[in-house]
Structures are given as structure tokens and as C-alpha cells.
């Protein structure tokens, strides 16, 4: 569907596979924080595989703004019938609507389904186009009388454009590892800014670390940690090795169909053990192997020559190449794991230590461990703030949510300060 919107032509696309990958990916490459999960191939695969479709509560309405033949702005927009698969929890808002006899669903969501990875969401050639995209989103939601609009895990430019349009920001915490040896000076070693600087806490692209150098190897990384953390990691790794578990790492086109099939067995079992069906179908991963192989690294745990567990990470670009997208640093993203056997500490080895070791050896700058989980701090994944932005059509509920978010942000400041005090990095008096 096409509609004239000055100065752009607006297009709503209900099948992500109908979008020209070249135009979408070229626009993505111009953004401040591109990720592989925003590539046209990834979004199209979610739809074509039956993973994110109207039948599962994800109705795509991708919004594109055209300036003649140039794609000036675009975003992945979904009409949602629930709040599953988002990782920014608004169930309480939905319940409050229901208690007052109002409908919260359907709502509008700008996000990557099932993928809580921070990065650019509002793709635009410049600030003016991004502002026009936000205005078009709000107008579209208003015309269809949707309850709300939510932009999840955006970058700084996204947040600024949303705040300018009076969307309400909300902050959460993730845990990321950086391939940078910290300064030995206690005054300089802090990974977090002081209390009151939440907005500066590490959304993608923030801050320069030119004065720091990458780790030489895994032992060099361990040396940067406090003694008790080093000891714990070594103990955990010894337990896995003593159980006779070894690891095989394959990436890109070297991941064989049998490897993908084994990975899916592990992935599916993890969900089923928690009483849920997996979000992603085998067809989705078949598309990843076919269309985005260079962006995947698979770790397979073996015992007595048989595979028993696996973990899958994504990378921003092929580490064998010359740098990441848009000239940026290479980034790795922890995504999925599963096991067919119980081995003490195998989860930590497969999901953290093997990927971190691999990142050090391949010059990857950052490893994002995914949503939630304070236990990640013991593995030197440090807290960073992530941002989402929200608009509610109902004025009274919008006011109530604004007050709630103000209180929540205050609590988030205290929480981040507490996390800073528990940094796993080595103090000057550590042995």
C-alpha cells in the first residue's frame, strides 16, 4: 500500500520478503549501530519460516519512506496481539487497561522478534528522515486506533528522535563483555559512570576506549579479574574438562547441515524442558545457513566422540574479513544454547568461556550476553543500559506510565550503582 506523505512516499509492507534486500541493507549499513538481526534476510526469514507471522501474534506492517527511488527511512513494524517474545515487559500496563475495561491489544511494536539485541531500529539516511519516520509511525497508529507504540532496544539516534516526538524512554540492563584490558589504576578501572549518568551507560557506540588494548589470550583476560573470580572460572572449566568434554568450533559455511540439525535438537529441548514450544522453527535456521552463514559461529560440546550440547553466537561480520559493518568494530552476540546431557558447569563453558576465548583469538571487540542475568557479571560481562521508547494513546494511562517510568529510572540508577560496587575486575590489592 502506498500513501503520499510530504516530503516522502510512505509504503506499508506486510511481507518482509517483498522488500528489496539491497535497499534495506544499504540503509542499515549507514546506521550508528547496525546488527545482523536487522538485515533484510533475517527479518524475511522470521516471516517466511512461520516464526513471526500473524498466526503467532506478529503481523508485519513494515514502514518505508521513499524519496523518489531512494529508500530514505524504514523500520520493522509489527501489530501485536500479545507481549511475548519482546523482553521489555509491559504486561502490567496491559492488565491495567483490562481492569478499566479498555483494550491494550492490538499494539504497535518496532522491534526484532525474539531478539533483545540493542542496535539501530529506525533506519534513516539522516535526522530529518528519522524524525519523519517517527511522525509517520504515530500517525499510522492513530489512524488505526492502536493503544500504543513501542520502540525496543534502539540506539541513541532512535531514542533522541522518539523523545523529540514525546515518546517516553525506559531503561533496562544487559551484560556485555569487552575485549579491552582495563587500566590497573583503581581510579581508572571503573566500567560504569557515576550515579546520575544512566543515559550514558553503554548504548551501542558510546564512549572511546582508545587507551585500552585487547586481551592477548584467555589467561590475560583472567588476570584482569579479581582473585575469587579467576579461581571460580578455572574451577568451572576444570569440571567440564574432567567430565571428558571437548569443544569443536565451526563457523559460516563450514557449519554442516548435520551440525545445524544437532543444534536445533538442543535448542528445542531447552524450550520444551521449560514447558514451551520454541519461538523459531527449523526453517528459520535453514534460511540462516543459506542466506546469512557468515554471521554465525557454532560451538559443539562432545564427549566420547558424540555431540552432547551446543551454543550458537552471531557476529556482526565475518571475522575473517576486514572489520565490521559500516567500518565498525566486530561484535559477537550470544543467542541460543541447549544440551542433551547434564554436565556440571557446561552451560558456563559453552555460553561464556568458549565464546570469550574465540572473541579474543579473532579480535572481536564486544560479546553481548543477552538479556538479564546478574550471574553474567561473575564471567566479566558488565552492565550496560539499554533503552526503549513508548507512546500510549490514552492520556490518563500515558500520564500514569510516565510517573511509573520516572520511579523506575530512579530505581535503575540505584541498581546500576550497586552493580558497579560488585565489579569483577581486579582491584589494586588483589593477588
pLDDT digits (tens, 9 = 90+) for 285-314: 999 999 999 999 999 999 999 999 999 999
Q: What is the pLDDT of residue 317?
A: 73
Q: What is the pLDDT of residue 256?
A: 97
25 & 82 share domain: yes
Q: Answer whether residue 138 is part of any domain.
A: yes
407 & 343 share domain: no
349 & 400 share domain: no
Q: What is the pLDDT of residue 322?
A: 39
Are 64 and 73 spatial neighbours (Cβ–Cβ below 8 Å)?
A: yes
Q: What is the pLDDT of residue 417?
A: 85
337 & 403 share domain: no
Q: Answer whether residue 184 is part of any domain.
A: no
276 & 324 share domain: yes
218 & 347 share domain: yes
Give the closest residue to 100 by CA, choosing from 397, 427, 417. 397
Of 364, 394, 409, which residue constitutes the final position of a domain? Answer: 364
Are 174 and 384 spatial neighbours (Cβ–Cβ below 8 Å)?
A: yes
Q: Answer whether residue 374 is part of any domain.
A: no
220: which DSSP letter?
A: H
Q: Answer whether residue 352 is part of any domain.
A: yes
Mean pLDDT computed over 330-358: 96
- Asked if residue 103 has pLDDT above 90, the reply is yes
- Asked if residue 284 has pLDDT above 80, the reply is yes
Are 141 and 78 spatial neighbours (Cβ–Cβ below 8 Å)?
A: no
Spatial distance between the Cα atoms of 119 and 360, rounded to a whole number of angstroms = 22
151: buried, middle or exposed (CB in 10 Å: 19+, 13-18, 0-12)? Answer: buried
Beta bridge partners of 177: 367
Which domain, by its residues, includes 229?
214-364
9 & 158 share domain: yes
Beta-carbon neighbour count of residue 322 at 10 Å?
Answer: 7
Looking at per-residue confidence, does 359 or 371 come out higher? 359
Mean pLDDT score across all residues of the chain:
90
- Asked if residue 371 has pLDDT above 90, the reply is no
In Å, the largest CA–CA distance within the chain is 67
Q: Answer whether residue 65 is part of any domain.
A: yes
130 & 254 share domain: no
Least confident span in 71-75, 212-216, 332-336, 419-423: 419-423
Q: What is the pLDDT of residue 135?
A: 97
Spatial distance between the Cα atoms of 20 and 93, rounded to a whole number of angstroms = 36
256 & 354 share domain: yes
- Asked if residue 190 has pLDDT above 50, the reply is no
Residue 211 banded pLDDT, cuts 50, 70, 90: low
Task: List C-alpha distances in Å: 27 to 7, 65, 74, 331, 406.
Answer: 18, 12, 8, 19, 34
Residue 324 banded pLDDT, cuts 50, 70, 90: very low
Q: What is the pLDDT of residue 1?
A: 43
249 & 330 share domain: yes
- Asked if residue 188 has pLDDT above 50, the reply is no
Beta-carbon neighbour count of residue 420 at 10 Å?
Answer: 16
Alpha carbon 199 to chain centroid, angstroms: 18
- DSSP H helical ranges for 255-302: 257-273, 282-291
Residue 197 banded pLDDT, cuts 50, 70, 90: very low
Domain count, the chain: 2
Cell numbers given for 318: 565475518
Choose the most confident range, by mean pLDDT, from 142-156, 200-214, 371-385: 142-156
Cell numbers given for 31: 546506521
pLDDT digits (tens, 9 = 90+) for 35-58: 999 999 999 999 999 999 999 999
Q: What is the CATH classification number for the domain harbouring 412?
A: 3.40.630.30
Q: Answer whether residue 11 is part of any domain.
A: yes
Cell numbers given for 233: 572460572
Are 54 and 66 spatial neighbours (Cβ–Cβ below 8 Å)?
A: no
Q: What whole-number percentage of the chain has pLDDT above 70?
A: 88
Residue 227 banded pLDDT, cuts 50, 70, 90: very high
Q: Answer whether residue 253 is part of any domain.
A: yes
267 & 347 share domain: yes
Residue 321 banded pLDDT, cuts 50, 70, 90: very low
Residue 3 banded pLDDT, cuts 50, 70, 90: very low
Q: What is the pLDDT of residue 198?
A: 53
Spatial distance between the Cα atoms of 127 and 133, rounded to a whole number of angstroms = 10
Q: Answer whether residue 301 is part of any domain.
A: yes
225 & 287 share domain: yes
Amino acid at each position: 500500500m502506498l500513501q503520499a506523505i510530504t516530503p516522502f512516499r510512505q509504503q506499508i509492507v506486510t511481507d518482509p520478503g517483498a522488500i528489496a534486500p539491497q535497499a534495506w541493507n544499504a540503509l542499515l549499513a549507514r546506521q550508528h549501530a547496525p546488527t545482523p538481526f536487522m538485515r533484510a534476510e533475517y527479518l524475511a526469514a522470521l516471516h517466511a519460516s512461520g516464526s513471526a507471522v500473524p498466526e503467532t501474534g506478529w503481523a508485519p506492517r513494515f514502514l518505508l519512506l521513499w524519496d523518489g527511488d531512494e529508500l530514505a527511512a524504514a523500520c520493522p513494524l509489527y501489530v501485536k496481539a500479545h507481549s511475548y517474545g519482546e523482553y521489555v515487559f509491559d504486561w502490567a500496563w496491559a492488565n491495567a487497561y483490562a481492569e478499566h475495561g479498555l483494550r491494550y491489544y492490538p499494539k504497535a511494536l518496532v522491534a526484532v522478534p525474539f531478539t533483545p539485541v540493542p542496535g539501530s531500529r529506525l533506519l534513516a539516511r539522516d535526522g530529518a528522515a528519522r524524525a519523519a519516520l517517527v511522525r509517520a509511525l504515530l500517525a499510522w497508529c492513530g489512524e488505526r486506533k492502536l493503544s500504543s507504540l513501542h520502540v525496543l532496544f534502539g540506539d541513541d539516534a532512535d531514542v533522541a528522535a522518539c523523545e523529540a516526538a514525546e515518546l517516553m524512554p525506559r531503561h533496562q540492563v544487559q551484560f556485555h563483555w569487552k575485549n579491552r584490558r582495563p587500566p590497573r589504576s583503581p581510579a581508572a578501572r571503573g566500567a560504569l559512570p557515576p550515579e546520575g549518568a544512566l543515559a550514558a551507560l553503554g548504548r551501542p557506540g558510546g564512549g572511546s576506549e582508545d587507551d585500552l588494548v585487547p586481551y592477548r589470550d584467555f589467561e590475560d583476560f583472567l588476570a584482569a579479574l579479581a582473585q575469587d573470580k579467576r579461581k571460580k572460572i578455572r574451577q568451572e572449566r576444570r569440571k567440564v574438562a574432567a567430565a571428558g568434554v571437548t569443544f569443536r568450533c565451526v563457523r559460516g559455511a563450514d557449519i554442516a547441515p548435520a551440525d545445524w540439525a544437532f543444534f536445533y535438537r538442543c535448542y528445542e529441548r531447552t524450550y520444551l524442558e521449560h514447558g514451551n514450544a520454541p519461538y523459531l522453527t527449523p526453517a528459520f535456521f535453514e534460511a540462516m545457513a543459506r542466506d546469512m552463514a557468515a554471521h554465525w559461529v557454532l560451538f559443539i560440546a562432545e564427549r566420547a566422540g558424540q555431540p552432547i550440547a551446543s551454543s550458537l553466537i552471531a557476529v556482526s561480520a565475518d571475522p575473517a574479513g576486514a572489520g565490521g559493518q559500516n567500518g565498525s568494530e566486530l561484535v559477537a552476540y550470544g543467542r541460543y544454547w541447549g544440551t542433551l546431557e547434564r554436565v556440571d558447569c557446561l552451560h558456563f563453558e559453552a555460553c561464556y568461556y568458549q565464546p570469550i576465548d574465540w572473541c579474543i583469538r579473532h579480535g572481536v571487540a564486544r560479546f553481548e550476553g543477552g538479556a538479564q542475568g546478574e550471574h553474567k557479571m561473575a564471567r566479566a560481562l558488565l552492565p550496560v543500559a539499554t533503552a526503549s521508547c513508548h507512546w500510549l494513546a490514552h492520556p490518563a494511562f500515558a500520564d500514569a506510565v510516565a510517573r511509573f517510568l520516572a520511579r523506575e529510572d530512579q530505581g535503575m540508577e540505584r541498581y546500576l550503582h550497586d552493580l558497579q560496587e560488585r565489579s569483577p575486575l581486579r582491584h589494586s590489592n588483589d593477588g
